[in-house]
Amino acid sequence: MSFSRATSQAPRSPAHVATKEPISFRHTSPIPNGRGDRDREPSPKSIASALLSPVPASKAVLPPEKELFREREGSVKPVAAAEKKSQEPPAAAPEPLPEEDVIDMETFEQILELDDGETREFSHEMVKEYFKQAEKTFDDMQEAFNKDDLDELSKRGHFLKGSSAALGISKVQASCEMIQNLGKLQEGDKTIPQPEALAQLEVLLPQVKVEYAVAKRWLQNFYAAEEAAAED
């Protein structure tokens, strides 16, 4: 059964997919943790099991609200961080993304190989579970951002990066990796101050939601087309 691709490359035949060397789901942390990260190569079944498992509850303890200071009429007066954020102009809405290259088809085809027979029931359930996890994670990210909880933002970014990588949702994966790094005050090879990390995250959080919405629409259209073809 054929289906449309999110990339501009020529479609691969089922025979090509079946005979090619299996692609490794290998993820390494871009941030040194001092313990020597090791590559992990889970099987597609283990990825499916992990994706369908509940989102782990956060055990992070939120830090007390930090106060900022400003000079007013020769005196130093405390200003709550939440008040400062409300005074800042809202970030510009991200531009809509094209539906090209939102899915890594090589990875997605390996997920499709887990389906039995002519139905897409198994992979479709994985995708629908991913939607639930992603939307819950976005809520958690926004809550952590409102509280300046960079540690929790980093954890949530790491979690959604892995789930997105497992399904080949590449743009969300890349943005979540950036969120993970910024939560640790890392930008490339340098350490940045907290205000700069928060400023970048304020732009990045709406952006990753747009990327997710584009990928979700592509996946919903794909499975709708597959179901329609199966009924013919």
Predicted pLDDT at 44: 53
Predicted pLDDT at 230: 81
Predicted pLDDT at 102: 85
| Whether pLDDT at 111 is above 80 | yes
Predicted pLDDT at 51: 55
Predicted pLDDT at 9: 42
Options 1.10.10.60, 3.40.50.11540, 3.40.50.720, 1.20.120.160; CATH for 99-232 is: 1.20.120.160
**What six digits make up the tokens of 26?**
């290998």
Distance CA 55, CA 5 (A): 29
Whole-number percent of the chain with pLDDT over 70: 57
Burial (CB < 10 A; 0-12, 13-18, 19+), residue 103, is: buried
Q: Are 88 and 199 in contact (CB under 8 A)?
A: no
Distance of CA 35 to the CA centre of its chain: 25
Distance CA 179, CA 196 (A): 13
Whole-number percent of the chain with pLDDT over 90: 51
Predicted pLDDT at 119: 87
Q: Are 130 and 167 in contact (CB under 8 A)?
A: yes
User: DSSP per residue over the chain, as a string?
Assistant: -----SSSSPPPPHHHHHHSPPPP--B--SS--SS----B---HHHHHHHHTSPPPPP-PPPPPPPEEEEEETTEEEEEEHHHHHHHSPPPPPPPPPPSTTSS-HHHHHHHHTTS-TT--HHHHHHHHHHHHHHHHHHHHHHHHHHTT-HHHHHHHHHHHHHHHHHHT-HHHHHHHHHHHHHHTTEETTEE--HHHHHHHHHHHHHHHHHHHHHHHHHHHHHHHHHHHHHH-
Q: Are 157 and 179 in contact (CB under 8 A)?
A: yes
pLDDT band of residue 86 (cuts 50, 70, 90) is: very low
Distance CA 7, CA 9 (A): 6
Distance CA 197, CA 179 (A): 9
Q: What are the pLDDT digits (tens) for 177-200?
A: 999 999 999 998 999 999 999 999
